[in-house]
Structure 1
Amino acid sequence: MEKIDLKSLSEEKLKEFMQTIDEKAFRGTQVFRWIYKGAESIDDMTDLSKSLREKLSELASITNLSIYKKMSSKIDDTRKYLFSLEDRNIIESVMMKYKHGVSVCISTQVGCRMGCSFCASTIDGLERNLKASEMIDQILKIQKDVGERVSNVVMMGSGEPLDNFEEVKEFLKIVNEKNGLNIGYRHITLSTCGIVPKMYELSDLKLPINLAISLHAATDEKRKDIMPIAKAYSIDDILKACRYHIEKTNRRITFEYSLIKGVNDSKDEAKILANKLKGLLCHVNLIPINKVDERSYEKPDTKYINTFKDILKSSGIETTIRREMGSDIQGACGQLRRRNL
């Protein structure tokens, strides 16, 4: 019989689980609190009786990742982690320090099957989905390593969150729990390349999280060249789903736009994008492309980046250029993992 993964359960589900094994519901709250105090085994839960710990050990387990490799930037306080999973797969996460607190960028899958041509994560395809517990534990292990509370989470590491929607839903519930990590929804960002049906499902949850759309082109023709998902869903499809999300949550949408020299960085592209986004409650985050060894894409000159930004801003679109962090430690998604496979 497969053991129950305690770290994948919300507090309420843990209480229900305890009742199914003839224990009081409050024991579930005890176990839940122990997990978020950093307990890595059931034997660490010292205020549970020995008999209960033995029973739990027979029926349940606690997912634990281990740090396989850690790199610290000499430029800023960014740290990049490779975590080894219990099945010996490897995923990566990034810790970034800002004035407003510690942010972590987590992975939601081992690899990715979306096939975006500028991304290292997708080169070897999808190995498997991560469990909610494996997403949670990236945060717990980073908190323990840096000795500070994580206050912001970005689901922008390896994988497409909406391609692993059921586990991501559980993660979003658990990460917000008061007796757990207690991270507010407004401090969580989910990034998607635009799986439109799942965007509607997410919106129907009415969670006030930040939704970021990996757009990276202003026309469907250009987007199809760099993002296979564009063959299934048009930009207009995505924008319609974005309007629905805003209606349900009253939250601003962020559009991520990786600028690739000679591909999608022209003035015409900026004008088309500005026209499509006009009147939408949104923000554009321009990302000068990270160099990936397996790809020929290059970063545009600063002049082109600023011109693109100015065209959007002059059209009333709030636009920023993402600050590069951890560029000396292979900061782009998937780079460090690929070098260690």
Structure 2
Amino acid sequence: MGNIKDLSLAQIKDYLVRMNEPPYRALQVARWVFQRGCLSWEEMTDLPKELRAELKEQFSLTGVTLWQKQVSRRGDTVKYLLGLGDGQAVEAVFMRHRYGRTVCVSSQVGCRMGCLFCASTIGGLVRNLSPGEMYDQVMVAQRDAGERVSHVVLMGTGEPLENYEQVMVFLEHLTAPYGLHLSWRHITISTCGVVPGILRLAERRLPLTLAVSLHAPNDELRSRLVPVNRRYPLKELMAACREYVRLTRRRLTFEYVLLDGVNDSVSCARELAYLVRGLLCHVNLIPANPVPDRPFVAPSPPERVAVFKRVLERAGVKVTMRRELGADIDAACGQLRRRVLGLYG
């Protein structure tokens, strides 16, 4: 039995037409499933009883089970451990911001990118998540919070551009009128620098935000911290970023996690400013969050962060500082990781 949220609207329509149902039934089903988050076929009262019975036999209405919930001390962040049908589990995070309600979604079970400071890559990659498993992360958070989700960031466990096709189906549902109808401008995809995926995404010219995890201003350091750089070095990555901006006319975000004594020097800041010069972008600085089994910490004293930021600003680079939420429940940047459901049950 498959999760009906794994299907595109066209696939739902094809299935219903093969059952001799009129095509408009697809939109009826989609609104119940993607917009209202219905968890019972019996609730779909505008569908014939026989059709509901058939759909119930063929499809489930969710692909995840809420296994554990943690709330930050300030109450503005909630982390969910969600069990999957194969016994694996992923984490998703709900955050309350002044500008809206955001869900941080995982796109894979585990991650193979190997970034040294990130918990998500511990244990490696198990598999890609399906569109329904990603969508259900949003629906669980929205249902639990009782608040409408306004923003989605693909910044949880996994590399979204290595799960490109499934992510695109997920975003189709997320932005569609039959779904949550989110604005594309309220969606962010984060990548550690998978160049073919960046170029593929650029060709679609979607008005979403692309965040590139940079974390180092030169190949020697970046290849150590972000191993994918050995495959797609900075020259290729920056060329892809410039092509992305050219095709989409969208401003890029460069994520830069500051690691004490590693990539937080004034010389690194100057190199970074030179690297991004002339590009429509801004740099988002993130003091490192603690991760078990990882030796990295945030710059000390904290004033080093302000110095790094000032160097970039004086070079004309637009800079923001990440407002971290949920560090006390391991829900901040770099702290989400693959979980095995059996460890908790």
Q: With structure 1 as the length reference, what TM-score do the two structures score?
A: 0.96
Distance, in Å, in 2 between the alignment partners of 1:49 and 1:10 is: 22
Distance, in Å, in 2 between the alignment partners of 1:118 and 1:263 is: 11
1:4-15 equivalences in 2 (<5 Å): 4-15=2-13
User: How far is 1:42 from its partner?
Assistant: 2.5
Give 1:17's match in structure 2, choosing from 15, 21, 30.
15
Tell me the amino acid that sits aligned with residue 182 of structure 1: H
1:1-341 equivalences in 2 (<5 Å): 3-35=1-33, 36-301=35-300, 302-332=302-332, 333-335=334-336, 341=343
Unaligned stretches of 5+ residues in structure 2: none
- RMSD value over aligned CA atoms? 1.5
Distance, in Å, in 1 between the alignment partners of 2:338 and 2:277 is: 38
User: How far is 1:74 from its partner?
Assistant: 1.1
Note the alpha carbon deviations across 1:74-119, whole angstroms, 9 max, x for none: 1341111111112221100111111111011000000101111001
Distance, in Å, in 2 between the alignment partners of 1:89 and 1:293 is: 21
Note the alpha carbon deviations across 1:3-61, whole angstroms, 9 max, x for none: 45321233343223211221111111111111121212323323222211122223333
Task: Indicate how the Cα distance of structure 1 residues 238 and 306 shifts in structure 2: closer, same or farther if over 3 A, else same.
Answer: same
Q: 2:110–2:338: 8 Å Cα contact kept in structure 1? A: no
User: How far is 1:239 from its partner?
Assistant: 1.1
Distance, in Å, in 1 between the alignment partners of 2:261 and 2:125 is: 29
Q: 2:102–2:152: 8 Å Cα contact kept in structure 1? A: yes
Q: SS of the residue aligned with 2:307?
A: helix
Q: 1:120–1:338: 8 Å Cα contact kept in structure 2? A: no
Distance, in Å, in 2 between the alignment partners of 1:114 and 1:235 is: 16
Distance, in Å, in 1 between the alignment partners of 2:295 and 2:58 is: 51
User: How far is 1:66 from its partner?
Assistant: 1.7
User: How far is 1:290 from its partner?
Assistant: 0.7
Q: SS of the residue aligned with 1:58?
A: helix
User: How far is 1:228 from its partner?
Assistant: 0.9
Q: 1:185–1:207: 8 Å Cα contact kept in structure 2? A: yes
Identity across the alignment (%): 46
User: How far is 1:62 from its partner?
Assistant: 2.5
Unaligned stretches of 5+ residues in structure 1: none
Equivalent residues, number: 339
User: How far is 1:339 from its partner?
Assistant: 9.4
Distance, in Å, in 2 between the alignment partners of 1:273 and 1:246 is: 18
Q: SS of the residue aligned with 1:96?
A: strand
Tell me the amino acid that sits aligned with residue 33 of structure 1: R
Q: Which moved more, 1:3-12 or 1:126-135?
A: 3-12
